[in-house]
Amino acid sequence: MENNRRDFFKKSGWKITALAATPYLLPSQIASSKKPSQNRKISYELGMAGYTFVKFPLNDALEMTQRVGINYLCIKDFHLPMDSSDKQIADFHAKCEKHNIKGYAVGPIYMKSEEEVNKAFDYAQKVGVQLIIGVPNYDLLPLVDEKVKEYGFQVAIHNHGPGDDLYPTPEVIYEKVKKFDRRIGICHDVGHTRRYGKDPVAMTMAYGDRIYDMHIKDVTEPTAKGRSCEMGRGVIDFPSLFAAIAKTGYAGKCSIEFEKDNTDPLAGIAECVGYYNAIEDSM
């Protein structure tokens, strides 16, 4: 795996070592360190999963996201509570805009009752996004089906791997939602898929037409004991994964969810971004 990393680093225009070691680069310095791509072969964009910043207030989260050159954020309710007023929502968007970041989805949101389903859809509408990352109980899927038709939103159900009694893998999600409106699909967390012992590449190819969001992370081993680590340092074959994503025509976000150092994540996030861009440059 380390040989692959070195190959990608050589091909990439990113100064990856400097970026990881110096988390105080200005956004303009980060942006200029990557070679411009005139013929980009992929249609998806890199994003950030809000849970990465569970230990940080919004301003710090936005500053770190901006520093690594990411422009999209999956919004968690600890940064924008579900009972937020119109003013709180407007202030949130203003802060995002100041950092050149757009909130593209909300969640993951757990839905264990009809009230919680209704609240999730109302929240997404107030926030102004068209995608809910959700975890609805099985018996609530018919209601979610009604809601996606009413609101016109997509709901991407998040898999959580070992220990998840509802949706451990994309395969389980697909089997539960395939009879419902196509706007109900999958948020593929590739780290949890690998921790469950499944191949994220195979899952992506098999269910790509129903994947509407992706949370990307590497893990140390393909078992429940696997822990988050920097992309390329674990057991996931990311070159093959991103090739598969591109092959499916996926046009959503691939959001980094870095959980290894959640009290000091910036260097690790920067390394993940650099590794991602090295892969993209090699495609």
Interval 47-88: pLDDT, tens: 999 999 999 999 999 999 999 999 999 999 999 999 999 999
State the pLDDT at residue 30: 44
State the pLDDT at residue 7: 55
Digit-coded pLDDT (tens) for 215-234: 999 999 999 999 999 999 99
Which residues, including other chains, have CB under 8 Å from residue 262's CB and lie 6 or more apart? Answer: 52, 53, 54, 55
Digit-coded pLDDT (tens) for 123-140: 999 999 999 999 999 999
Using the predicted structure, report yes or no on whether residue 214 has a pLDDT greater than 60: yes
3-state secondary structure of 91: helix
Beta strands in 33-179 (DSSP E): 45-49, 72-75, 102-111, 131-136, 154-158
Distance in angstroms (rounded) separating the CA atoms of residues 102 and 94: 10
Distance in angstroms (rounded) separating the CA atoms of residues 152 and 157: 16
State the pLDDT at residue 25: 45
Residue 197 CA: distances (Å) to CA of 130, 168, 222, 226: 32, 11, 5, 10
Q: What is the mean pLDDT of residues 270-281?
A: 93
Distance in angstroms (rounded) separating the CA atoms of residues 2 and 23: 23
Q: What is the CA radius of gyration of the chain?
A: 18
State the pLDDT at residue 14: 42
Average model confidence (pLDDT) across the chain: 89
> What are the structure tokens assigned to 152, written together?
């016109």
Nearest by Cα to 215 from 269, 174, 257: 257
The whole-model pTM stands at 0.87
The residue whose two tokens read 């395969």 is 171
Digit-coded pLDDT (tens) for 149-168: 999 999 999 999 999 999 99
The structural domains of the chain, ordered by start, are 2-34+42-282 (3.20.20.150)
Using the predicted structure, report yes or no on whether residue 28 has a pLDDT greater than 70: no
Using the predicted structure, report yes or no on whether residue 27 has a pLDDT greater than 50: no
Using the predicted structure, report yes or no on whether residue 183 has a pLDDT greater than 80: yes
Kindly state the percentage of the chain with pLDDT values over 90: 82
